[in-house]
Amino acid sequence: MRTRHFLLLKRSCAVLQKDLRVEFRTRYAYNTLMMFAVTVLVTVSFSVGGMILESEIAAALLWIILFFSAMAGLSRTFVQEEESGTVVALKLAADPEPVYLGKLLFNIVVLFSIAAVVVPLFLIMLNLSVAMPLSFVLVVLLGCLGLAGASTILAAIVAKAAVKGALLTVLAFPVLLPLLIGAISATRSTLAGVPLEVLRPDLGLLLFYNGMMVTASLLLFDYVWNE
């Protein structure tokens, strides 16, 4: 059992390494996400002007930026395989699970690196202070994990469709709604500063969503991949 898990991890890391290498040479997903995120961020900061935003609005704006950035670039991992024809070689060589896990890890790395730039910029440009910094970082990490998890399985579905452009956003919205509600609520709490007991249900929701999304995706991916 341990050997099987080790092999799965090793094969997933091979997919991750390949995707990172390709991304490092083309910078397609990273550039798309970063340009989108920074453009929206600048637009929002100019629209808001010098106003001090309430934590409810700031939290919603942050997750709108992260959600649409994720939708703009994270589908690329599977779409590129389909469009370039490499999906045939990949299907012939790899089991479905390591492909899913490798792509998931890649999307997590990309989204975390985008968040590492966008979130501090968001706080600076909108002149926001965070009352609970550690909890805020935890919420952003869990939210990004959920965004990456849902985007990965949905990207695998969208990659098979003839019209790929807006389909991911449309498909993702209902799937990501519980995550976004939990992430916005938790972010608002960490910006405003609340007792930990108030934050706990939202953190629980984010943890549960992430666990459920990865488990369900692993179970379903075989059908999506081989369809």
Stretch of 6-14, 31-39, 144-152, 158-166 contacting another protein, by CB under 8 A: 6-14
Q: In this structure, what are the phi and psi dihedrals at residue 126, rounded to the nearest 5 degrees?
A: -100, 5
Q: How far apart, in whole angstroms, are the C-alpha atoms of residue 148 and residue 71? A: 10
Among 15, 37, 105, 114, binds another protein (CB under 8 A): 15
The rounded Cα 103 to chain-centroid distance in angstroms is: 12
Q: How far apart, in whole angstroms, are the C-alpha atoms of residue 25 and residue 13? A: 18
* Least Cβ distance, residue 29 to another protein (angstroms): 13
Interaction of residue 84 with another protein, rule CB under 8 A: yes
Among 20, 53, 91, 125, binds another protein (CB under 8 A): 91
Q: How far apart, in whole angstroms, are the C-alpha atoms of residue 190 and residue 95? A: 41
Q: Both tokens of residue 198?
A: 């108030």
* Least Cβ distance, residue 114 to another protein (angstroms): 21
Among 42, 51, 52, 93, binds another protein (CB under 8 A): 93
* CA end-to-end distance (rounded Å), the chain: 28
Q: Which residues of the shown chain bind another protein in the complex (CB under 8 A)?
A: 7, 10-11, 13-15, 17-18, 21-22, 25-26, 84-86, 88-95, 98-99, 226
